[in-house]
Chains A and B, each alone.
Chain A
Amino acid sequence: MEQSYKDTKQKIIKLWDKINELILLEEELFKRIEEAEARLTVINQKLNANQ
């Protein structure tokens, strides 16, 4: 019983770390999407300027 408790606790800690890692990755992805939007805007500006 005690061993199971320890195993479960360990699993939770690992899962917690993985969730935090995923959150950081999602934030990074969100920043990349923002950058993509910015680059698209600049492309649009340049196309308008060149017309």
Chain B
Amino acid sequence: MQINNYNRFKLNKYKNENHKLLKIFDLYNCLESDYGLKKSRVDNIFNKLSLIENRIPTATSGSSSTSAVGYLKILAKNPEGKEIGTIHRIATVPIYTIYNSSGSIVATGNTPVNSQTMAQYIELSAGVYTIKVSFNGINITKSKTIASGIYSNIQFDFVRKELAMYDFIASCYSGTVEPFYQFNMTNSFDGESTSYYIQHMGPGVSQVLLTAKPNGGYTGSCGINARAGDLVLPFLATSDNNGYIQIQIDPPDDWGHFPTMEEYVLGSSAKFHCSTIPYDEDNTAL
């Protein structure tokens, strides 16, 4: 073959590519060796675990022996895959109820609320169970078979219903400003006793008092002193207020002055979620 410029270029390119390939091989060999070390350490841990487990007396809570029980972790996730019970400052956490095959309750409790409870398992005799997890008036039920000596998870994925924020209203009367964020509930609210979590979506308002007002009226209103991201507001909607929710922004007491129109307009850039399953606004949930 004649070595012209084009072929020389291709040859050099090939040499370069081959050099890269050799580097990738080296990297792979390092990873493989690293895996071998890690596997050996994990094997050692398992050997030690077995030794410890054999020295621990049988569980005192049940009559079954250790070999006849399995272990279950119950997880309740929001649509983003965050453990609902670990979301910062939510008013209630998901509750689980475990029924045995004859319909009797064998255990109840909270789904995980922190990293410590996240690591815990429920010990159950081997068998078939029905597990119900309830959160914010929503129930999900699943069946689970527990096998002896097996650690398993069961996950409940909660579907969110969200109201779109459709308006920001700032109007003046008698020399004062009345600003509202408004969520339309019409045609999206089924009258169930479900709380709507009103949460801050981002920058814009850091120190305000939020007041949710069904139908724009003052009855049934509730508030939260919303400071430094503390913006989770459980708002119980009932069949009486199937219209819209207004969130009013009032100044905190320590502002020392009534907000100007400009400050309210600045606040109007704030966004809120209004949903049945909370978001992890602080990005700290597990």
User: Interface of A with B (CB < 8 Å)?
Assistant: 1, 4-5, 8, 11-12, 15, 18-19, 22, 25-26, 29, 32-33, 35-43, 45-47, 49-50
Q: Quote the shortest CB–CB distance from B163 to chain A (angstroms).
A: 38
Cβ < 8 Å to A, chain B residues 209-229 = none
Work out how many contacts link A and B, with CB atoms closer than 8 A: 73
Q: Chain B contacts of A15 at CB under 8 A?
A: 21, 24-25, 28
Interface residues of B toward A: which range? 20 to 34
Main secondary structure of the interface of B (DSSP, over half): helix
* A49 engages B61 (CB within 8 Å): yes
B31 touching A45, Cβ below 8 Å: no
B56 within 8 A of A: yes
Q: A1 and B14: CB pair below 8 A?
A: yes
- In the assembled complex, which residues on chain B have CB atoms less than 8 Å from the CB atom of A39? 49, 53, 151
Indicate if B71 sits at the interface (CB-CB under 8 A).
yes
Which 6 A/B pairs are nearest by Cβ-Cβ distance?
A38-B151, A41-B119, A39-B49, A36-B45, A46-B56, A49-B60
In chain B, what residue has the closest Cβ to A34? B151
A8 near B18 with CB under 8 A, answer yes
CB pair A29–B42 under 8 Å, yes or no, is yes
Q: Tell me the chain B residues, 56-73 only, with Cβ under 8 Å from chain A.
A: 56-57, 59-61, 71, 73
